[in-house]
Amino acid sequence: LGHFRFRSAIFAPLGGPRTDRPTDPCLSAAAERRETARMSSRRVAMKAVDWMAFGERVPPNQRAMFNALKTRSDALSSKLTSLPEKPLALDWSYYRKTIAKPGMVDEFEKKYNAVKVPEPIDTQGEKINAQEQEANKSAQSYCQASKERISKYEKELGKFKSMVPFDQMTIEDLNETFPETKLDMVKHPYWPHKPISDL
């Protein structure tokens, strides 16, 4: 960073060949190069998000959070796509003609080209994948249990649809349809013909 600050102090009064950056062309170009490299590295690792499928899984009480996330993501994606794939090149020959001290521009060019912006390292991908696998197992287990409950409820519903209407039922019909209502008068001969603990 020190040589960038020094270069700024040397080059700033001289201006540069780029009319859109009249104040400090080298420093601005360097910052743009670093920003472009940083954003380009993210662009490589970027994955498309199926927002429609995502939205279908968002509960109503989290809809506002989902909309804010999508708005933020769209803004970042728009900014990313507006940046060039490759950094803008500096006109070093212009500075060689302008700077009188021999070798200074060559030194700055060498140091400038030596700047490498490391790509972000994924430190959470494995954890997220493990959580996703665990969530998938839990979801599959829940779906299987739900199917079993649905099958059970459908059988009960079929029984209710085919049973004798309540206003036409006899005690025998009630006991046959709902066995838990049948009283054991032999084991419990006195009213209410049930164990005291069941009352």
Residue 15, C-beta contacts closer than 8 angstroms, at least 6 positions apart: 22, 25
Contact present, 39 and 83 (Cβ < 8 Å)? yes
Q: Could you please report the per-residue DSSP string of 66-90?
A: HHHHHHHHHHHHHHHHHS-SSPPPP
- State pLDDT tens for residues 98-130: 998 889 999 999 999 898 888 888 889 899 999
Stated pTM of the model: 0.41
What is the b/e burial string over 132-158, where b = at least 16 CB atoms within 10 angstroms of the residue's CB?
eeeeeeeeeeeeeeeeeeeeeeeeeee
What pLDDT, on the 0 to 100 scale, is given for residue 107? 93
Q: What is the dihedral of CA 27, 33, 35, 39, to 10 degrees?
A: 180
Q: Name the token pair of 190.
A: 């006195």
Please identify every stretch of the chain with a pLDDT value under 70, giving residue numbers as ranges: 1-47, 198-199
Closest CA to 26 of 49, 48, 5, 52: 5
Q: Name the token pair of 120.
A: 């972000």
Chain center to CA of 90: 38
- Cα separations in angstroms, 14 against 8, 10, 96, 110, 190: 10, 8, 12, 20, 112
What pLDDT, on the 0 to 100 scale, is given for residue 66? 93
